[in-house]
Amino acid sequence: MSDGRVMVFAPAPQLTVTIEQHHDEPELHVHPGGQGIWQTRMITSLGAEVTLCTAAGGEVGRVLAPLMAELHGVTIRLVAREHGSGWYVHDRRSGSRQEIAERPGVPLSRHELDELYNLTLAEGLRAGIAILSGPAHPSVIKPEVYGRLAADLRANGCRVIADLCGRYLESVLEAGLNVVKISHEELIKDGLAADGSTRELMSALVKINTDGAEAVLVSRADEGALALIDDEIYTVSLPRLTAAEHRGAGDSMTAGVAATLARGGSMTDAVRTGAAAGALNVTRHGLGTGHVDAVRVLTDRVRLTPIKKASA
């Protein structure tokens, strides 16, 4: 049983620079970013604590590390890298996001990877529940690392949530997982679904479950999610909200699941909270953000409707 803490594995965080328009003046926003960071923000917003296992270095890392240290409710376990971390610069002044420049960062060295693996394993076992988040680019860290980590955590009693796709998902499924969260776009890209129809996505849910995931959650943008829990497939109805920023909803969904399980909630409650957190996140410009009271209110409006037995 977790003590309300989640370990988030974020091997390659990014320094994010975004230009926004506020009234007649441009604004510059500089934050730590990447999937694991956005998940961490939402988990802490929901009242759970996070141990963030990560690495940063180079000129970008010297800016990134103190920004991560300012994250509220987060214990940082940092591996200092010799070479540069990743970054991006986006311009949102027109109302849509335009990429100006981006670098994923230098691949982790063998020594850096060994240090990060060891501390991640220790902190994951200490927390009792872990999220494995993906890198911005596959060149930074190999999928096999995720497979070994999932296997070692699971073998020693840690519950593992994977928010991964492609070869990374294939690698961790071999180890077995408690929860997999994936988007319908990723399922189509990976060849697990021919299209976004409910029938195709249900088949993908069953395959991921058969391949090693106890529970599976598939986000479908504003169409609501699908979930496989205890051999039952459900549609997950989401509150209808006006979107300010579509990015980050899936990460917030994963965070809601993890925060609920860390506090001892059921998988059904975890999915409902995750769906509410993801729906709320799209109303905000900040990724992985949302007020806990709003999430609680929206959670009451999420409905899970059984549609099929997974084994049928």
Model confidence pLDDT, tens digit, residues 44-73: 989 899 999 999 999 999 999 999 999 999
Average pLDDT for 158-170: 96
> What would you measure as the largest C-alpha separation in the chain, in angstroms?
58
**DSSP label at residue 135:** P
Strand 177-183 relative to strand 159-163, pairing: parallel
Residue 258: is its pLDDT beyond 50? yes
The confidence band for 241, taking pLDDT boundaries of 50, 70 and 90, is low
Name the more confident of 235 and 286: 235
Residue 78: is its pLDDT beyond 60? yes
Name the more confident of 200 and 297: 200
Residue 288: is its pLDDT beyond 80? no
Which tokens hold the place of 75? 């214990």
Residue 141: is its pLDDT beyond 70? yes
Residue 260: is its pLDDT beyond 50? yes
The confidence band for 291, taking pLDDT boundaries of 50, 70 and 90, is low
Number of residues written out for the chain: 312
Averaged pLDDT of the chain: 90
Answer for the pair 245, 285: CB distance below 8 angstroms, yes or no.
Answer: yes
- Runs of H (alpha helix) within the chain: 35-45, 58-69, 110-127, 143-155, 166-173, 184-189, 198-211, 249-262, 267-281, 292-299
pLDDT at position 114: 97
**Which residue pairs from 297-301 have beta carbons closer than 8 angstroms and sit at least 24 positions apart in sequence?**
298/239, 299/272, 299/273, 299/275, 301/239, 301/276
Residue 245: is its pLDDT beyond 70? no
Residue 283: is its pLDDT beyond 80? no
Per-domain residue ranges of the chain: 5-309
CATH topology of domain 5-309: UDP-N-acetylmuramoyl-L-alanine:D-glutamate ligase (3.40.1190)
Average pLDDT for 123-130: 97
Specify the range with the lowest mean pLDDT, choosing from 117-121, 156-160, 275-279: 275-279
Average pLDDT for 225-242: 86
Name the more confident of 11 and 247: 11
Residue 199: is its pLDDT beyond 60? yes
The confidence band for 287, taking pLDDT boundaries of 50, 70 and 90, is very low
Average pLDDT for 206-224: 91
pLDDT at position 1: 46
